[in-house]
């Protein structure tokens, strides 16, 4: 059954917006995003009346994957102009459906000619979890997870890892541990963003030095509501799903919310 919402996007959106300028270099914009620990920033249009643009950590990942030097590029080279926007009275379920159908993790909240805020998948999922509005008690993680788990090597450069992730259209990859029997590590677009923010060279930086600081694991028979609670409380974008044979799959916020809005 559909998720029932008594609130609208205006109730969960972030109004503390990070705005970057089109003329900023990618490392400058990445540094500001990294300092604020956000996955996207608003880019105000140069022409009055146009919708705002957006630049996200996945844009930085794709930049690295392309082989271009981030230090030679500007926000204007990568951002999405006139980003997908929604009005503040949009229901959470409507926003979630737009995100999952069009592949967005963030939507700009816009009314008239003014940027009101920004909403992420995490904002929506967090609200549903806190308010006990999540369905999915009868839906297991195995029904929503991605079973084709892709891994990069510890000795891969960030450029190599980003290229492999970009080819597959994924924002996170597993990293095989250095010692057999140890749990797997993870590299995500956020770690690549932090590296570019620090002015590091993706052609010399190794995956081993940029592993996600935390990760969480679950069994495939967990319910989606349990997964959502773990993601919300722990601040995770992905859950590694393991069984007796090892890694069974990976569950992203997008996977999870796509299953929830369809249930």
* pLDDT attached to residue 177: 82
CATH architecture of 141-262: Roll (3.10)
Write phi, then psi, for 241 (nearest 5 degrees).
-100, 125
Q: How far apart are CA 63 and CA 155, in angstroms?
A: 20
Q: Which residue has the higher pLDDT, 232 or 87?
A: 87
Note the Cα 255 to chain centre separation in Å: 11
% pLDDT > 90, the chain: 63
When the pLDDT of each residue in the chain is averaged and rounded to a whole number, the result is 90
202-253, pLDDT tens digit by residue?
A: 999 999 999 999 889 999 999 888 888 888 888 888 999 999 888 899 999 8
Give the tokens for residue 257. 């919310």
Is 70 exceeded by the pLDDT of residue 169? yes
Number of H helices and E strands in the chain, helices first, is 9, 12
Where, residue-wise, is CATH 3.10.580.10 in the chain?
A: 9-130, 141-262
Average of pLDDT values for 173-199? Answer: 91
Would the pTM of this model clear 0.75, i.e. be above it? yes
Average of pLDDT values for 17-31? Answer: 96
Sheet holding 85-86, edge to edge: 85-86, 106-111, 114-120
Is 80 exceeded by the pLDDT of residue 53? yes
Under DSSP, is residue 2 helix (H, G, I), strand (E, B) or coil? Answer: coil
% pLDDT > 70, the chain: 96
How does 90-103 read in b/e, with b if 16+ C-beta sit within 10 Å?
bbbbbbbbbbbeee
* pLDDT attached to residue 6: 65
Per-residue confidence band for 137, with pLDDT thresholds at 50, 70 and 90: low
The Cβ of residue 23 has, within 10 Å, a number of other Cβ atoms equal to 10
Is 90 exceeded by the pLDDT of residue 152? yes
Average of pLDDT values for 87-103? Answer: 90
Tell me which residue has tokens 């900023």.
24
Q: Does domain 9-130 have CATH number 3.40.50.720?
A: no
**Taking the C-alpha atoms of 160, 163, 168 and 171 in order, what is their torsion angle to the nearest 10 degrees?**
90
């Amino acid at each position: 059954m559909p998720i029932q919402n008594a609130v609208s996007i205006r109730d969960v959106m972030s109004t503390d917006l990070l705005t970057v300028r089109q003329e900023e270099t990618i490392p400058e914009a990445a540094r500001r995003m990294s300092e604020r620990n956000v996955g996207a920033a608003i880019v105000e249009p140069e022409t009055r009346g146009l919708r705002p643009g957006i630049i996200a950590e996945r844009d930085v990942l794709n930049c690295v994957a392309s082989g271009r030097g981030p230090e030679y590029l500007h926000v204007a080279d990568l951002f999405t102009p006139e980003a997908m926007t929604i009005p503040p009275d949009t229901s959470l379920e409507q926003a979630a459906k737009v995100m999952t159908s069009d592949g967005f993790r963030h939507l700009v909240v816009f009314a008239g000619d003014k940027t009101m805020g920004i909403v992420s998948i995490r904002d929506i999922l967090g609200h549903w979890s806190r308010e006990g509005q999540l369905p999915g008690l009868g839906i297991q993680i195995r029904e929503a997870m991605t079973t084709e788990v892709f891994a990069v090597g510890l000795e891969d450069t960030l450029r190599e890892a980003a290229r492999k992730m970009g080819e597959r259209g994924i924002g996170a990859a597993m990293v095989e541990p250095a010692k057999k029997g140890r749990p797997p590590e993870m590299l995500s677009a956020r770690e690549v963003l932090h590296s570019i923010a620090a002015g590091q060279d993706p052609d010399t930086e190794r995956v081993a030095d940029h592993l996600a600081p935390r990760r969480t694991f679950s069994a495939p028979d967990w319910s989606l509501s349990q997964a959502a609670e773990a993601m919300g409380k722990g601040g995770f974008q992905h859950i590694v799903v393991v069984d007796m044979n090892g890694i069974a799959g990976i569950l992203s916020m997008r996977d999870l919310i796509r299953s929830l809005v369809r249930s």
